[in-house]
Amino acid sequence: MATTSQSFQRSPEGANSEFVPVARAENVMGLIGNTPLLEITKITAGLLRPGVRIFAKLEGFNPGGSVKDRPALKMIMEGLRKGELVPGKTIIDSTSGNTGIALAMLGAALGFPVELVMAANASRERKKIIQAFGAKIIYSDPLEGSDGAILLCRKIIERNPERYFKPDQYANENNPLAHFETTGPEIWRQTKGAVTHFIAGLGTGGTVMGTGRYLKMRNPAVKVIGVEPDDAMHGLEGLKHMASSIVPPIYHEEELDDKIQVSTEDAYEMVYALGQIEGVLVGQSSGAAMVAALKVARGLREGCVVTIFPDFGEKYLSTNLWIGWKSWTRDRLSHLLAKCKTESESVIT
Amino acid sequence: MPVQIRVPTPLRRFTGGADVVTAEGSSLREVLDDLERKHPGLRERLLDENGELRRFVNIYINGDDVRFLDNLSSKVKDGDDISIVPAIAGGR
């Protein structure tokens, strides 16, 4: 069996089997998944009770650089299997970044043209990466955000429906299924079943839905918690403020045990802290995830908190994330940590 | 001096759904003050507790990023076109 299919067809039943990392692959698809867990120890030093640990799954290690490689691969392979994606068709979707990068990478590897609709204010790095994979970008009005890109993408497909295959990450159940089949089992294995809380940002909802379902299947006591921006006007690339957005059909809020709102400023501060204290340079959605993980962990007597860091930080170096970072000091981290402690009292334990 | 301000989707709940509104002032700060009077709640989304532009908010005057002009002190004249643009594209 090719390494390609090994990567995305791991069954939940296989979750207990010994994991052997891919040392060699015949194509980039074989390198997707099996990302490492990093225990966050320096930022949390002295803050958590002895039996509480926080781990971050570093999805930036995927070949396309983000967690989105997983659902993109699953959606495309299922499209091929069902005959919905056939030679001559173009892969199209609305995406502001990481899914676009994943689709562009996979389109290149599999020989399909890719067109991506995104708001014109997506980060410069993301646009360049997507174009470097040979994909075409169609820009939508930056004032309309990701919902504007979704609507423009629909219009383009309506004009020529036979031409396109749209993975439709917001509505495609293969998105959460990719996480049910890979991210969830990996976390279960990597924590040896000790995970008690799973925390992930809400974008399409695919990560938290699929991974959460798997972990709850293994242990119904696992708490699954979503993270979203605290306001419709925010700066957390990749995350959605659900109350003010088109709610993705794959997202079912009732399956969550809790939802934590994080301010853009707090998430940015955590990104600076993770870089300078933990030695991990990540994007703003990882900063938000870490803030939420701390809020939960500080309220626990014991537990194993696992969160997702969706990508690394290189893609954001030209963005507003880094405005004012030079004045960052550890004093500001103390301020942030104090807020996490206060708010943890209201968080589910 | 009325200027035209283009409002992004996440802020239209403060403008009754309008994507374009008008306000007056000779500097961006004055325009934003007037905007707050007409549409309460907007200012807090745009400026931080120190009264500075939030890091994730970009404002353009006739297409020029105010961070490359004089920030909130940037001069505004009659008929200028101001756009408020979230620094991110949202979604995934």
Determine, yes or no, domain membership for B91. Answer: no
Determine, yes or no, domain membership for B38. Answer: yes
State the virtual CA torsion across A119, A121, A127, A128 in degrees, nearest 10: 160
Contact at 8 Å (CB) between A308 and A67? yes
Determine, yes or no, domain membership for B28. Answer: yes
Q: Which of B54, B86, B91 sits opposite A95 (nearest CB)?
A: B91
CB within 8 Å: A234 and B6: no
Determine, yes or no, domain membership for B64. Answer: yes
How far out from the chain centre does Cα A133 lie?
Answer: 21
Q: Using a CB-CB distance cutoff of 8 angstroms, which residues of chain A are in contact with residue B54?
A: 235, 264-265
CATH of the domain spanning A3-63+174-342: 3.40.50.1100
Contact at 8 Å (CB) between A180 and A211? yes
Domain harbouring B68, CATH code: 3.10.20.30
pLDDT digits (tens, 9 = 90+) for A69-96: 999 999 999 999 999 999 999 999 988 6
CATH of the domain spanning A69-165: 3.40.50.1100
Determine, yes or no, domain membership for B92. Answer: no
Q: For this complex, say whether ipTM is above 0.90.
A: no
Domain boundaries, chain A: 3-63+174-342, 69-165
> Whole domain around residue B75: which residue ranges?
2-86
Across A8-37, average pLDDT: 73
pLDDT digits (tens, 9 = 90+) for A155-200: 999 999 999 999 999 999 999 999 999 999 999 999 999 999 999 9
pLDDT digits (tens, 9 = 90+) for A221-263: 999 999 999 998 898 988 988 888 888 999 999 999 999 999 9
Q: Which of A123, A285, A295, A315 is catalytic?
A: A285
Q: Which residue of B has its CA nearest to A127?
A: B89
Q: How many domains does chain B have?
A: 1
Residue A341 has pLDDT above 80, yes or no: no
Residue A18 has pLDDT above 60, yes or no: no
Determine, yes or no, domain membership for B68. Answer: yes
How many Cβ atoms from other residues are within 10 Å of residue A132's Cβ?
Answer: 12
